[in-house]
Amino acid sequence: MTRTRTPGISRRSTLALMGAGAMTFAAPWVARAQAKTVKIGMPTILSGRVAQLGTSSRNAVMLEVEKVNAAGGLAGRQIEMVIRDSKGQPQEAARVARELVNTDGCELMIDAEASSGAFAVHEVARDLGVFCIHTNSETSALTADPKQHIPNAFRTARQGVHDSIVGGSYAAAIAKAKGLKKWATCSPDYAYGRDTTAEFTLYLKRFAPEVEIISESWPKLFQPDYTEVVTKILQAKPQALYSCLWGGDLTSYIDQANIYAMFGQMEVFAVNMADYTALTVVKNLPKGIHSGNRYIKTFPTTPENAAWGDAYKAKYNEYPTNWSWENATAIMLMAEAAKKANSADGKKIAEALKGLTIKCPFGADGTVTMRGDDHTLVGYAIGWGTTIPQEPYVPEVKAGDWKTIFELEAEWKKSKGYA
Amino acid sequence: MTELEAGRAQTLAPARSGAALRRYRDVLIALIAFAVLASLPLLSGSKALLDFVIRCSAYGLFATSLNLLVGYTGLTSFGHGMFFGLGAYSFGLIMQKLGVPIPVAFVATLAITAVVAAIIGAICVRLKEIYFAFVTLAFQMLIHSTILSWASFTGGDQGLRGGIPRPAFLGINLANHIHLYIASCALLILGLLAMRQIAQSPFGYTLRMIRDNAARASFLGIDVWRAKLTVFVLAALFASMGGMVMALFVSGAYPEFAYWTISGEAIFINMLGGVSTFLGPMVGTVLLLLLNDTVTRFTEYHGIVLGIVILFFALGLRKGLLDFVAEWYAHRRETGEGR
Choice among A28-32, A77-81, A186-190, B78-82 with the minimum mean pLDDT: A28-32
Average pLDDT over residues B214-232: 89
Q: Provide the 3-class DSSP secondary structure of residue A267.
A: strand
- Residue B33: is its pLDDT beyond 80? yes
Partner A contacted by B131 (CB < 8 A): no
Instruction: Kindly identify which residue of chain B lies nearest to residue A189, measuring between CA atoms.
Output: B149
pLDDT of residue B213: 87
Mean pLDDT of all residues in B263-267: 89
For residues A158 and A389, the answer to whether their CB atoms sit within 8 Å is no
Average pLDDT over residues A331-341: 93
pLDDT value, residue A140: 85
Question: For A86-90, A329-333, A397-401, which range has the lowest pLDDT when averaged over its residues?
Answer: A86-90
**Beta carbons of B37 and B185 less than 8 angstroms apart:** yes
pLDDT score of B278 more than 80: yes
Record the pTM. Answer: 0.81
Task: Give the whole-angstrom CA distance, residue B249 versus residue B310.
Answer: 27
CA distance B278 to B322: 9
pLDDT-based confidence at residue A347 (cuts at 50, 70, 90) = very high
Residue of A267, A263, A326 lying closest to A293 (CA atoms):
A326
Which alpha helices (H) appear in chain B, and where do they start and end?
2-8, 12-43, 47-67, 81-98, 102-124, 129-149, 151-154, 177-200, 202-212, 214-219, 224-250, 260-273, 280-298, 302-311, 321-338
CA distance A23 to A5: 28
Distance between CA atoms of A223 and B221, rounded to whole angstroms?
A: 50
* pLDDT value for A29: 47
Does the beta carbon of B327 lie under 8 angstroms from any beta carbon of chain A? no
* Average pLDDT value over all residues in chain B: 85
CB atoms within 10 A of CB A2: 6
Determine the average pLDDT of the residues in A249-265. Answer: 89
Q: pLDDT band at B153, cuts 50/70/90?
A: confident
Q: Given this model, what pLDDT does residue B333 score?
A: 83
Flag whether pLDDT at A9 surpasses 60.
Answer: no
Average pLDDT score over residue span A90-101: 89
Query: Average pLDDT of A91-108?
Result: 89
Contact A39, A84 (CB under 8 A): no
Instruction: For residue A50, list chain B residues with Cβ-Cβ distance below 8 A.
Output: none
How many helices, marked H, and strands, marked E, lie in chain A? 14, 16
Contact B302 A94 (CB under 8 A): no
> For residue range A115-162, what is the model confidence (pLDDT) as tens digits?
778 888 998 999 899 999 999 988 888 898 888 899 999 999 998 889
Closest partner residue to B254 (CB to CB) among A46, A85, A116 is A116
- Tell me whether strands A240-243 and A267-270 are parallel, antiparallel or unpaired: parallel
CA distance A352 to A154: 12
**Contact assessment for residue B239 and residue B66, using Cβ atoms and an 8 Å cutoff:** yes
Fold for domain A161-296+389-400? Answer: Rossmann fold (3.40.50)
Chain A residues with CB-CB distance to B under 8 A?
Answer: 6-7, 10, 17, 20-21, 23-25, 27-28, 46-47, 51, 84-85, 87, 89-92, 94-96, 98-99, 102-103, 115-116, 119-120, 123, 126-127, 139, 141, 145, 147-148, 189-192, 194
Q: How sure is the predictor about B63, in pLDDT bands with cuts at 50, 70 and 90?
A: very high
CA B175 to CA A226: how far, in whole Å? Answer: 47
Chain-centroid distance, C-alpha A146: 21
**Domain coordinates of chain A in residue numbers?**
161-296+389-400
CA distance B162 to chain A (A): 6
Q: What is the pLDDT of residue B170?
A: 85
Most confidently modeled range among A36-50, A354-368, B261-275: A354-368
Rounded distance between C-alpha atoms, residue B286 and residue B292, angstroms: 10
Query: In this model, does residue A181 exceed pLDDT 80?
Result: yes
Contact between chains at A102 and B46 (C-beta distance less than 8 A):
yes
Q: Are the Cβ atoms of B251 and A90 closer than 8 angstroms?
A: no
Average pLDDT, chain A: 87
pLDDT digits (tens, 9 = 90+) for B64-95: 999 999 889 888 889 999 999 999 999 999 99
CA proximity to A382, closest of A303, A308, A326: A326
Residue A54 or A8, more confident: A54
Please tell me the predicted confidence (pLDDT) of residue B218.
Answer: 86
Backbone angles phi, psi at A184, to 5 degrees: -125, 155
pLDDT-derived band of residue A185, with 50, 70 and 90 as boundaries?
Answer: very high
What does the pLDDT average to over B169-180? Answer: 84
Closest alpha carbon to A275 in A317, A241, A320: A320
pLDDT at A33 over 70: no
**β A383-386/A397-399 pair status:** antiparallel
Helix axes B280-298, B47-67, angle to 10 degrees: 130
State the DSSP string of B119-149.
HHHHHHTTS-HHHHHHHHHHHHHHHHHHHHH
Is some CB atom of chain A closer than 8 A to the CB atom of B252? yes
Does B182 or B337 have the greater pLDDT score? Answer: B182
pLDDT-derived band at B6, boundaries 50, 70, 90 = very low
Verify whether the Cβ–Cβ distance B300 to A47 is below 8 Å: yes
Q: How far apart, in Å, are the Cα atoms of A172 and each of A165, A217, A398?
A: 11, 21, 14
CA distances from B54 to A66, A194, A225 (A): 37, 35, 42
Q: What is the pLDDT of residue A14?
A: 55
pLDDT of residue B275: 80
Q: Residues of chain B with pLDDT > 90: what percent?
A: 31
Q: Please answer yes or no on whether B250 and A191 come within 8 Å at the CB atom.
A: no
Determine contact, residues A373/A383, Cβ cutoff 8 Å: no
- Residues B231-242 pLDDT 10s: 999 999 999 999
In angstroms, the CA B48 to CA A100 distance is: 9
- Residue B108 at interface with chain A, using a CB cutoff of 8 Å: no
Is a pLDDT exceeding 70 seen at residue A258?
Answer: yes
pLDDT of residue A32: 45
Report the percent of chain A where pLDDT is more than 90.
Answer: 54
Closest residue in chain B to residue A87, using alpha carbons only: B300
Phi/psi for B109 (5° steps) reads: -60, -45
B326 has pLDDT over 50: yes
pLDDT(A244) > 60: yes
pLDDT at A49 exceeding the cut of 90: no
pLDDT for position B15: 58
CA distance B43 to B322: 27
Q: Is the C-alpha dihedral spanning B223, B225, B228, B231 positive or negative?
A: negative
Nearest CA in chain A to B298: A84
pLDDT of residue B166: 84
